[in-house]
Structure 1
Amino acid sequence: MSIVVRDVREHELDSVLALNNAAGPAILPLDSARLRHFYETAEYFRVAERDGTLAGFLIGVGSDADHDSRNFQWFRERYPRFFYIDRVVVASRRRGGGVGRAFYADVQSHAELRYPLVTCEVFLEGVTDPVLLFHGSFGFREVGQRVLVRNGMRAAMLMKELCSYPWVRDTYGGNLPDVPWITTRSVLEAPPAPRSTGTGGP
């Protein structure tokens, strides 16, 4: 059956949290407060549904976000405007079935209307060749590395230039057409994120 990518629903947060914390060392853990903060504030928080069940999720924020991830801050110190993929998780039984590619196609269609760059990181410990190949096939390139203070893991910092953005900016400025596939999800006003459980790592 087809993969449906759509905005997350509040009642799915417990399932999203379980998916995140079962994903293994390549994905930093979350707690319910941090996940709730993402639900209330993240510009992009979408899930994939396949065969009627949750197959994964992706969370992303723009460069102006109040986001305390140090990986996010690393990019902000170097680039004035970008979209940051904080995490993408695919359920183990769905890996290799196209869910990740559906997410990256969808998130790029969101980002390229608003940002010149999309960024993310990949941890280099463990078996990472398929992950690096996956990102390379989408046009990401490494622009640096950093070591997380909390756990000593080394991350490759990846970036992709979005070639459609200059045309969209010059043609529409900040006035994108009001059509459903362009609309940004509504987010709620929320207190600052808890500082003790950073998602992007120290």
Structure 2
Amino acid sequence: MSIVVRDVREHELDSVLALNNAAGPAILPLDANRLRRFFRTAEYFRVAERDGGIAGFLVGFGPDAEHDSGNYAWFRERYPRFLYIDRIVVASRRRGGGLGRVFYADVQSHAELRYPHLACEVFLEQGNDPALLFHGSFGFREVGQRVMPAHDGQGHDVRAAMLMKELCSYAWVRETYGERLPDAPWISQPRIGGGTLPATGTNGH
């Protein structure tokens, strides 16, 4: 069966929450209120649907978002324009099937029209080399490291590699179209609260 990547729907948030919190230690847990805040404020919040079920999701924020992540703040202090990948989760039964690359290709197609960089982090835990290899093969490079405090006072501090990918197409898009992208359905992406992101290079702000 084919994979469809599409915008999340509000009634699917419970399923997304369960998927997130079953993902393991590489993904920070969420509660329902925080996930709903993501739904209202994330620029990019899409799911992959396969065989009638949600196989994964990816959440991304632009540089002007009201997002309280410390890792997001780290990038925001250093870079003026970027799309930040807060998290990508793939259901355990779907891992290894290329769904991560499908998501990254989709989020890049959104970001490269609007931003010069795509940002994310990878926890530098023992055994996490596959995640570093995945991002490195996709063009991400380490631009620094950050020690993340133990979540809610539990566990231990975690060091994260802060990764950035330069989006080579952005300069051409900006030079050719300036602040206004063509009005085409595939360019306009739903965003905050299920509304529509205008076809603009300024993140709609």
TM-score (norm 2): 0.89
Please point out which of 149, 155, 163 is paired with 2:160: 155
Q: 1:54 & 1:13 partners in 2: Cα distance?
A: 11
Where in structure 2 are the equivalents of 1:39-58 lying within 5 Å? Answer: 39-58=39-58
* Structure 1 residue 51 displacement after superposition: 1.7
RMSD: 1.2
Give deviations 1:96-148, integer Å, cap 9, x for gaps. 11110100000000000000000000001132111111101110011111111
Higher relative contact order (CA 8 A, sep 6+): 1
Report the 3-state secondary structure (helix = DSSP H, G, I; strand = E; otherwise coil) of the residue aligned with 2:168: coil
Question: Residues 79 and 22 (structure 1 numbering): CA distance in 2 closer, same or farther, change over 3 Å?
Answer: same
Percent identity between the two aligned chains: 77
Q: 1:38 & 1:178 partners in 2: Cα distance?
A: 26
Q: 2:98 & 2:179 partners in 1: Cα distance?
A: 33
Q: How many residues end up aligned between the 2 structures?
A: 189
* Structure 1 residue 188 displacement after superposition: 3.4
Could you tell me which residue of structure 2 aligns to residue 196 of structure 1?
A: none
Q: 2:126 & 2:96 partners in 1: Cα distance?
A: 18
Could you tell me which residue of structure 2 aligns to residue 168 of structure 1?
A: 173
* Structure 1 residue 57 displacement after superposition: 0.2
Structure 2: 5+ residue runs without aligned partners?
Answer: 151-155, 195-205
TM-score (norm 1): 0.91
Q: 1:17 & 1:144 partners in 2: Cα distance?
A: 30
Could you tell me which residue of structure 2 aligns to residue 78 of structure 1?
A: 78
User: Given residue 164 of structure 1, which amino acid in structure 2 is its aligned partner?
Assistant: S
Could you tell me which residue of structure 2 aligns to residue 89 of structure 1?
A: 89
Report the 3-state secondary structure (helix = DSSP H, G, I; strand = E; otherwise coil) of the residue aligned with 1:65: coil
Q: 2:193 & 2:3 partners in 1: Cα distance?
A: 27
Q: 1:57 & 1:97 partners in 2: Cα distance?
A: 14
Q: 2:68 & 2:159 partners in 1: Cα distance?
A: 19
User: Given residue 157 of structure 1, which amino acid in structure 2 is its aligned partner?
Assistant: M
